[in-house]
Amino acid sequence: MFPEANKGWSYEDCKATADWLMAQTDVRPTIGIVCGSGMGGLADMLKDQIAFNYKDIPNFPQSTVHGHAGRLVFGTLKGRPCVCMQGRFHLYEGYPIQKITLPIRIFKLIGVETVILTNAAGGINQDFKVGDIMIIRDHLNMPGFAGNNPLVGPNDERFGVRFPCMSDAYDRELQQMAMDVGQELGYGDFLKEGVYCVLGGPSFETVVEARMLHKLGVDAVGMSTVPEVIVARHCGMRVFALSLITNQAVMDYDSEEKANHDEVLETGKQRAEQLERLVSTMVTKIEHNNNYA
Ligand SMILES: O=P(O)(O)O[C@@H]1C[C@H](O)[C@@H](CO)O1
Ligand SMILES: Nc1nc2[nH]cnc2c(=O)[nH]1
């Protein structure tokens, strides 16, 4: 029934990688961070770093996209033990969806309880501006509609249940915390919230695709995050996610704008400092006395 079942991403494969990592470092992270395109600076905030190139980690895929360094960094952020993916994997790189989400299961097996994900996204909401940071409230999983979901295949109950709930995917307490922290930091003008839609990429949207997403209630569109969120929730981790609006999706045939990856990376650089301060302040406030883990 599942011919490619668990090829390279079984519980045992994930456990072997987790054990290998645990043998190389004394850091025992409870918070895992995933850096979006151009946001790798988040990993550089970690103190007393122990970093591994993805190519040296057993079973890990390799980063192939500019703006994704390909390092797994352990360390402390304001005294809290963290692990950070400086570079993530995307469907358009050609990896099976189960492979791009394998690091999230490894997070779980090394003791991570809360996952913070960031991404670069195109603004669909017409009130959004380039440089806005959107707290993700909900998602639209377009590849999932076509059956490309990371949980397809035999379910291993050691990770989670066959049919996980997703109506509570994004932790509401953490969303509120981000809003509060954002206000304290004076980010009120550019801190938004909304719905993120994942598409397969790597091509950006046509005008009619962007218009369709707008009609569907999408606020920002990208090419990542959702598979990772599904896997994190499946194995019971708390999830918080942010989109940096790096460009406006083109919704008008007369527009001279053209989405491109250089603009995405440039916006990432411009907002890096604020994004890092928001995430690091949240990290100091996250408590692990919840019963998710
Ligand atoms: O990893 P993220 O989702 O931040 O990367 C986005 C989507 C594409 O990989 C790339 C397009 O510029 O940025
Ligand atoms: N699909 C998609 N992904 C992005 N990542 C950054 N900007 C965009 C965009 O406009 N569309």
The ligand whose atoms approach the alpha carbon of 124 most closely is 2
Active site (annotated) includes residue 92: yes
Q: How far apart are CA 272 and CA 35, in angstroms?
A: 11
pLDDT at 290 over 50: no
pLDDT at position 292, please? 34
Put simply, whether the predicted model's pTM sits higher than 0.80 gets the answer: yes
Q: How far apart are CA 245 and CA 119, in angstroms?
A: 9
pLDDT tens column, 47-71 = 999 999 999 999 999 999 898 889 9
Residue nearest ligand 1's atom 11 by CA: 261
Question: What would you measure as the largest C-alpha separation in the chain, in angstroms?
Answer: 57
Residue nearest ligand 2's atom 1 by CA: 222
Active site (annotated) includes residue 261: yes
pLDDT tens column, 214-270 = 999 999 999 999 999 999 999 999 999 999 999 999 999 999 989 999 999 999 899
- With a Cβ cut-off of 6 Å, ligand 2 is lined by 120-122, 199, 201, 204-205, 221-223, 246-247, 249, 259, 264
Q: Is the ipTM of this complex over 0.90?
A: yes
Active site (annotated) includes residue 39: no
Lowest model confidence (mean pLDDT) among 112-121, 131-140, 151-160, 253-262? 253-262
pLDDT at position 91, please? 97
Q: Which long-range contacts (CB under 8 A, 24 or more apart) does 253-262 make?
A: 253/207, 259/122, 259/204, 259/205, 260/204, 261/37, 261/66, 261/67
Query: Cα(204) to centroid of ligand 1, in Å?
Result: 10
Domains and CATH numbers, the chain: 11-285 (3.40.50.1580)
pLDDT at position 2, please? 59
Region class of 251: left (phi > 0), else alpha (psi between -120 and 50), else beta: alpha
pLDDT tens column, 104-128 = 999 999 999 999 999 999 999 999 9
pLDDT at position 204, please? 97
With a 6 A CB cut-off, is 264 part of the ligand 1 pocket? yes
pLDDT at position 291, please? 36
Q: What is the mean pLDDT of the chain?
A: 94
Place 8 in a pLDDT band, splitting at 50, 70 and 90: confident
